[in-house]
Amino acid sequence: MPHSGSNCELNPRLATPLSPAPSSPPGTTPIITTWYHHHHHHHHHYHHYHRHHHRHHHHYHHHHVTLATRAPSLALSEEESAGINNNNSSGVKQMFRLFSLWRLLQGMMGPRPVVLSGPSGAGKSTLVKRLMQEYADVFGFSVSHTTRNPRAGEVDGKDYHFVCREEMEKGILADEFIEHAEFSGNLYGTSKKAVEVIRDHNQICILDLDIQGVRSMKRTTLNPLYLSIHPPSIEALEERLRGRKTESEESIQKRLAAARADLEISKEPGIFDAVIINDDLDEAYNKLKDVLSEEIQKVQASKKN
């Protein structure tokens, strides 16, 4: 349980300093590139669809985004291949070594994490639960730390790691958190350890982050996939929030204001690899699986070996 004062001891979960994940070697290309839908590319594409609805709500329109997997190019000519064999081409040999090192590092780093972002009420938690049920051995959910008090039914270590402010501030100063933010007077954050534990089990780590957390994550070397889950409209989001009957009017207005800001920021190019409009839950879930299918297959294949 969170408490205050100087008696707060550093939680062993946060006590061990963690080394940052290795960065990509120079000369390699990113594994995921965002392509706009009008580009013609020969790689397999994951499409983001936006089903059009006949509603009176104002809709937020997004670019149709495609994901393409790209590996460093190793198209060697016969002369270059001969150069490797005859020790005559040090440049190509160095490139080959870098590529081999990059593949080795990828294996050591484990599966790529997945960052889910989007307004409160967009349906992120429901989609994550379905993923975890269908692919229990593939995905692991990163449990965040917070200094707020547990709500009824919340379990320490499952819903959040509930810690006191002094403990969390020590962890932040020791660079043990990937990202952290303060909301309504409480600290929230994702520890490096939480992500590494899931990766070490050869699972895809799912992180639920706000825009501030997404920006912090982009400063790390974890190289996750960035996905944004959107409601079909602000009006639909307000309906969902009111339907919960757990939010005060002040809380609803705060969440709606934050949602408008999130939706605007998400239009910036390069922020997200894909945007999924959650109007119909089954359709949104199928689109999410489509986007993640390649990563899922990689983990499943590695577990068979």
| pLDDT value for 212 | 87
Identify the active-site residue in 51, 55, 242, 244. Answer: 244
> Does pLDDT of 243 surpass 80?
yes
In this predicted model, which residue has the larger pLDDT, 282 or 183? 282
| pLDDT value for 273 | 96
Establish if 82 belongs to a structural domain: no
| pLDDT value for 244 | 85
- What residues make up the domain containing 222? 111-138+203-305
| pLDDT value for 8 | 53
Establish if 25 belongs to a structural domain: no
Pick from 148, 146, 152: nearest CA to 190: 146
Establish if 186 belongs to a structural domain: no
At 136, the pLDDT band (50, 70, 90 cuts) reads very high
Identify the active-site residue in 130, 240, 255, 260. Answer: 255
The stretch 113-123 carries a mean pLDDT of 93
Is 13 annotated as catalytic? no
Dist CA 213 CA 208 (whole Å): 9
Per-residue burial over 112-141, b = 16 or more CB atoms within 10 Å of its CB, e = otherwise: bbbbbbbbbbbbbeebbebbeeebeebbbb
Q: What is the CATH number of the domain that holds 296?
A: 3.40.50.300
Is 151 annotated as catalytic? yes
Establish if 124 belongs to a structural domain: yes
| pLDDT value for 102 | 54
| pLDDT value for 96 | 66
Q: For residue 202, what are the contacts with CB-CB under 8 A and spacing of at least 6?
A: 110, 111, 299, 302, 303
Establish if 70 belongs to a structural domain: no
The stretch 59-67 carries a mean pLDDT of 39
Establish if 277 belongs to a structural domain: yes
> Does pLDDT of 175 surpass 60?
yes
Identify the active-site residue in 148, 151, 165, 219. Answer: 151
| pLDDT value for 101 | 61
Task: Kindly report, residue by residue over 87-113, the tens digit of the pLDDT.
Answer: 556 777 676 666 556 555 554 467 999
Establish if 90 belongs to a structural domain: no
> Does pLDDT of 173 surpass 90?
yes
| pLDDT value for 4 | 40
The stretch 12-20 carries a mean pLDDT of 39
Is 242 annotated as catalytic? no
Dist CA 99 CA 25 (whole Å): 8
Token output for 139:
């995905």
Number of domains in the chain: 1
